[in-house]
Structure 1
Amino acid sequence: MMPATNSADIHGRLASADPEVRRIAVMGLLDSDEDDVDRLLLGALKDGDAKVRAEAARLLEGYETPDVVDGLIRVLDDASGEVREAAAVSLSELKNSAMGEGLLAALAATSVPFVQAALFRALRELRRPEAFAPALAALSSGDAGVRCAALGVLGYLKNPAALPDIARIAGSDADTEARRIAVGALGFATEPAAVVPAMKRALADASWQVREEAAATLGKLLAAEAIGDLIAAMADPYWQVRLKAARSLGRLKAKSALPVLIDALGHEMSNLRKEAAVALGEVGEVAAIPALEKALDDSDPDVRKLARLALTQLVK
């Protein structure tokens, strides 16, 4: 924490001809005795030095007022990438839904991809229903960052009308991250059957990150019709995918997965052995008892602990 600074000293430093002195003065505002720190930070957003503006943008993340939101929106097209990114991050920290009015108005007025993406990220956790239509339309954007940010909004809003478009992105978007986010967003479906075909295709995606997301989301959906696909995913070359598949098979209590889960209990990677032990306890098949008893001698204490817990679920 910087030492408290009196008002006269702060104002003197903010007016200095040296940009580094002004930047340090901005950093000290939060520890000063000023009553209108947000106003001074907004003033610093207009400073001639990019580092001063970036520092002000970062510190404004703690203020949720229309003036602050408007000020941060204005610098989303700053000449400095550092300033733009700092403003975008601060806007994404908003939690007050009332601040969405300014964000929505700015979104309607811009066609700049970076600004659009930043505004969608800021709108995500505010869950404003008015953001649904622009977010859905943004899935056709030529910019992957915009599509990803719009998917985040749709995932939070959980409007089933978006599911067909999200499924399209999950299966065909050229951007790996967009496909991954879309797969995760499909997890809000209340009728799994409507999205399982897209999820199954995602399990065969060229990107392991997308396959991992699909394996995890199928478990959240409790999609029993995908058990066979999840069992096949236990042979994926990436352990991260196998780990999520094991977790989902456990949640689904998939008795047909017993052989692959027992096999995973002997895998060289301890994280996968731990997940397999948990899943075997959830599946609840007594045929897993010998393998779990053997795991009581595992070299990893967490595997031993989870094997004991699984056995308590199987031995009543």
Structure 2
Amino acid sequence: MTERNTDHPDIIDLLPRLGDADAGVRRIALIELADLEEPQGLPWLTDALLVDAAEGVREEAARLLEAWEDPEVIQALCAALADPAVAVRTAAAQSLSEIKSQETGLLVLPWVAHAEAFVRASTLRALRELRLEEAAAPALAALEDPDASVRREAVGVLGWLKHAPALPVLARLAASEPDTEVRRAAIGALGLARDDSVLPALIGALDDAAWQVREEAATTLGKISQQAAGAALIKALGDPFWQVRLRAARALGRLRHVAALQALADLLGHGIANLRKEAALALGELGVAQALPALEQAQADSDPEVRKAVRIALAQLQGAQ
């Protein structure tokens, strides 16, 4: 239990209710304490998180501590990730995910080696957007974690760091990882490459059994801007799932892959409006006059969003002439 000293009159007034036998009274008192935004009140909040007998009080304390990056608060939130109550663990994980400073991230880093998978995954999630270089090594090690949620969060850390040394292992995960979401995350993280080194893994992923993985592969191929991916993306325009076709069309437009012109034009007759819209935009990005006849015919499309996309594409092509 942290040391409790205060001369703040509002906190002193709350003390009887903070120690009340009724959990509902304690919870409301904690909310009022947090509303003061007074650092002197933090010991009562952290103690409530760690030792209060009522799950609802501990959960509320975890939620209320979200805005604080005080070292004792961070340690308390990390410890609460192992709370026996799922609601408390979840609230603590959410609060940790909101930290903003790399200095605070250094306090979280040791918890990545915790015995419980939920703690490992939650702390990696908290570190993800901080781009903390010190997190690269433990994240790489966590790619071998037996728990899929930990591996998924580790991929996120490495992706946000744009950690190039991780590319070979990410490519391996994209091809052989048994968990669909980890494969999908690994494929997305391969977008940090800006060369053709990851093409085999990404092109292979266009044949993955899970359509979500194929969708991610098409998206990432658009990001790395490699013309060598064109043929595989044209093939993906025939994927059984329209979501994959949509991302492939978008990628081909970004690549300005002229060989895709006819396949994209054929999609203007597809029954799903979102796909017709994306095909129209991609044809405009190709920048070639050969796309004009198909787009001009599509001006009569029944969907207003598709017609808008066609107008944009026509203006783009006409401006390129």
| TM-score class normalised by the smaller sequence | over 0.9
1:228 partner amino acid? A
Matching residue within 304, 307, 319 for 1:304: 307
2:132 partner amino acid? R
SS of residue matched to 2:81: helix
**C-alpha separation in 2, matches of 1:152 and 1:106:** 17
Match of residue 29 from structure 2? 25
2:40 partner amino acid? D
Match of residue 111 from structure 1? 115
Match of residue 213 from structure 1? 216
2:276 partner amino acid? R
Q: Does 1:174 align with 2:212?
A: no
Residue 53 of structure 1 deviates from its aligned partner by: 0.5
Match of residue 101 from structure 1? 106
Cα pair distance change 1:9/1:239, threshold 3 Å: farther
Residue 35 of structure 1 deviates from its aligned partner by: 5.4
Q: CA RMSD in A?
A: 1.6
Residue 105 of structure 1 deviates from its aligned partner by: 2.3
Deviations 1:175-227 (A, max 9, x none): 00000000000000132x11000001111101111000000000000021111
**C-alpha separation in 1, matches of 2:182 and 2:270:** 32
**C-alpha separation in 1, matches of 2:60 and 2:73:** 14
Report if the CA contact (8 A) 2:164-2:193 is conserved. yes
TM-score normalised by structure 2 residue count: 0.92
**C-alpha separation in 2, matches of 1:69 and 1:136:** 24
Q: Does 1:74 align with 2:79?
A: yes
Cα pair distance change 1:35/1:183, threshold 3 Å: closer
Q: Does 1:43 align with 2:72?
A: no
Residue 9 of structure 1 deviates from its aligned partner by: 5.2
Q: Does 1:185 align with 2:189?
A: yes
Deviations 1:106-134 (A, max 9, x none): 224x2221111111111111111111111
Cα pair distance change 1:33/1:292, threshold 3 Å: closer
Moved more, 35-44 or 13-22: 35-44
Residue 281 of structure 1 deviates from its aligned partner by: 0.5
Cα pair distance change 1:145/1:33, threshold 3 Å: closer
2:57 partner amino acid? V
**C-alpha separation in 2, matches of 1:293 and 1:10:** 71
Report if the CA contact (8 A) 1:54-1:83 is conserved. yes
Match of residue 129 from structure 1? 133
Tell me, which stretches of 5 or more residues in structure 2 are unaligned?
1-8
Q: Does 1:59 align with 2:64?
A: yes
Report if the CA contact (8 A) 1:6-1:33 is conserved. no
Percent of aligned pairs with the same residue? 54
Deviations 1:141-183 (A, max 9, x none): 1110110011011101112110000111111111000000000
1:177 partner amino acid? E
Report if the CA contact (8 A) 1:76-1:87 is conserved. yes
Report if the CA contact (8 A) 2:221-2:229 is conserved. yes
Q: Trace 1:229-308 onto structure 2 (pairs within 5 A).
A: 229-308=232-311
Q: Does 1:164 align with 2:168?
A: yes
Residue 8 of structure 1 deviates from its aligned partner by: 5.2
TM-score normalised by structure 1 residue count: 0.94
**C-alpha separation in 2, matches of 1:140 and 1:87:** 25
Tell me the number of residue pairs that the alignment of Structure 1 and Structure 2 aligns.
Answer: 310
Tell me, which stretches of 5 or more residues in structure 1 are unaligned?
none
SS of residue matched to 2:279: helix
Moved more, 166-175 or 29-38: 29-38
Q: Does 1:84 align with 2:71?
A: no
